[in-house]
Chain A
Amino acid sequence: MLDKFVHEIADNQLVAAFAVVGIIVWVSNLLARHLTGGRVHGSAIAVLAGLALAYWGGLVTGKTKGMADLTLFGGMALMGGAMMRDFCIVATASEVQIDEARKAGWLGFIALFLGTLLPFIVGVAVAMAFGYTDPVALTTIGAGAITYIVGPVTGAAIGASSDVIALSIATGVVKAILVMVFTPVLAGFMRLDNPQAAMVFGGLAGTVSGVSAGLAATDRRLVPYGALVATFHTGLGCLMGPSVLFLAIKAIAG
């Protein structure tokens, strides 16, 4: 009987993922209501629970896709993959009030540039402090601090070694997870309570996964505004990383 059930799930992974995520969200809502008295958003707990399950999945399988490496939860990879994520982000645009978005247009632009430059500078500074002097390595690690896609794209373009690229991916992944976890915590400090603020946040915090999960856990209505700007973040980073930023680092360190 149990064998049959497991077999059934393995054959219907995406549907199984819907059920599993439904249970995670349901339990998280219960915890939010009864344990925190509604102070912590149910979705914030659900995202944290997801990360915890990903840790557990990685521990059990020793692979890279968190829970999705377990056969029973393989559907999570499709449900939580880039295709579904981007499809749903685009759908949230139907809730955007165009006038609100227009008001922050230029601010979002400035935020995008700052969101590319500032993490890069921090990343390069930290790498320098730990004894890296090669401009290629410095640029790649700095680019990783922008997002975990900009890091490897930049590294590959300027010929970084694979351990440096791995380090830059790790930097970006840690950043995305920090943004997911700390956005709801710091929402008050960042005054994250209106569409303009969400667009500034989307540009500066970067990483689509971090921004979208962080905003979802803060106030769902803000998601489309943040995501609208954040989706340009990786593109801008991939544009500036191997070109302007690399040349600047080469001029300084090389």
Chain B
Amino acid sequence: MVIFGTALLAGCYLLGVLLGDVLGALIGVKANVGGVGIAMMLLMAAQYHMRKRGLMRPETEKGVTFWAMMYIPVVVAMAATQNVIVAVKSGPVALLAAFGSVALCACVISLINRAIHRTGAAAAWQAGAPAAELD
């Protein structure tokens, strides 16, 4: 049943967010600490064990993959609800601080990733098939 997959996803999401809140409270932060990341790891673990026991039927998988596929449309909706006006009209401090940090981070990412490339770790993955777009 499709709903089992979606319910599994929902369970992992809620438990992850709860643990993120607890973690935040434990270290005294007024925010959720890695709740979504924890949820992702819970889902990976749950799927790994269920697949091994043959509990993950194709129908059940569909209840998860549908939401993974809905990801890009949701991001488009998110983009359409950003406060772009504030971003455009904000003064030079916001613009420069944002631009500077993005540029600096891009350079550091490039440095690190070029180092990874030299080790050849990336080669195997690139041979994989390109992802289907927006479907």
- Interface residues, chain A, CB within 8 Å of chain B? 17-18, 21-22, 24-25, 29, 41-43, 46-55, 57-59, 64-68, 73, 76-77, 79-81, 84-96, 98, 100, 103, 107, 111, 114-115, 118-119, 122-123, 125-127, 129-130, 141-142, 144-145, 149, 153, 156-157, 167, 169-180, 182, 186, 189-197, 200-201, 204-206, 208-209, 212-213, 216, 219-221, 223-224, 227-229, 231-232, 234-236, 238-239
How far apart sit A173 and B95, CA to CA, in the bound complex (Å)?
Answer: 10
Question: Contact between B113 and A54 (Cβ–Cβ < 8 Å)?
Answer: no
Q: Which of B40, B78, B94 contacts A90 (CB under 8 A)?
A: B40
How far apart sit A175 and B10, CA to CA, in the bound complex (Å)?
Answer: 30
Instruction: Please give, as numbers and ranges, the residues of chain A lying within 8 Å of B133 by CB-CB distance.
Output: 29, 41-43, 220
Beyond A144-B97, A191-B113, whether A98 also contacts B104 by CB under 8 A is no
Question: Contact between B87 and A123 (Cβ–Cβ < 8 Å)?
Answer: no
- B1 beta carbon closer than 8 Å to chain A: no
How far apart sit A130 and B113, CA to CA, in the bound complex (Å)?
Answer: 34
Number of inter-chain CB pairs below 8 Å = 348
Question: Contact between B64 and A91 (Cβ–Cβ < 8 Å)?
Answer: yes
Question: Contact between B122 and A194 (Cβ–Cβ < 8 Å)?
Answer: yes
27 A-B pairs in the complex with CB atoms less than 8 angstroms apart: A25-B76, A51-B82, A64-B85, A67-B81, A87-B9, A87-B10, A88-B68, A93-B40, A94-B61, A94-B64, A96-B44, A118-B104, A119-B97, A141-B97, A170-B90, A171-B93, A175-B101, A194-B116, A196-B116, A206-B105, A216-B75, A219-B130, A221-B131, A228-B40, A235-B23, A238-B29, A238-B30
Question: Contact between A235 and B24 (Cβ–Cβ < 8 Å)?
Answer: yes
The 9 A-B pairs at the shortest CB distance, nearest first, are namely A50-B79, A80-B77, A235-B33, A119-B101, A80-B78, A91-B67, A93-B40, A58-B85, A170-B90
Question: Contact between A126 and B97 (Cβ–Cβ < 8 Å)?
Answer: yes
Question: Contact between A189 and B40 (Cβ–Cβ < 8 Å)?
Answer: no
Beyond A96-B44, A223-B71, whether A176 also contacts B12 by CB under 8 A is no
Question: Contact between B101 and A50 (Cβ–Cβ < 8 Å)?
Answer: no
Instruction: Please give, as numbers and ranges, the residues of chain B lying within 8 Å of A29 by CB-CB distance.
Output: 133-134
CB distance from A148 to the nearest CB of B (A): 9
Instruction: Please give, as numbers and ranges, the residues of chain B lying within 8 Å of A115 by CB-CB distance.
Output: 105
Which residue of chain A is the closest to B82 with respect to CB atoms? A54
Which residue of chain A is the closest to B100 with respect to CB atoms? A122
Question: Contact between B86 and A173 (Cβ–Cβ < 8 Å)?
Answer: yes
CB distance from A26 to the nearest CB of B (A): 9
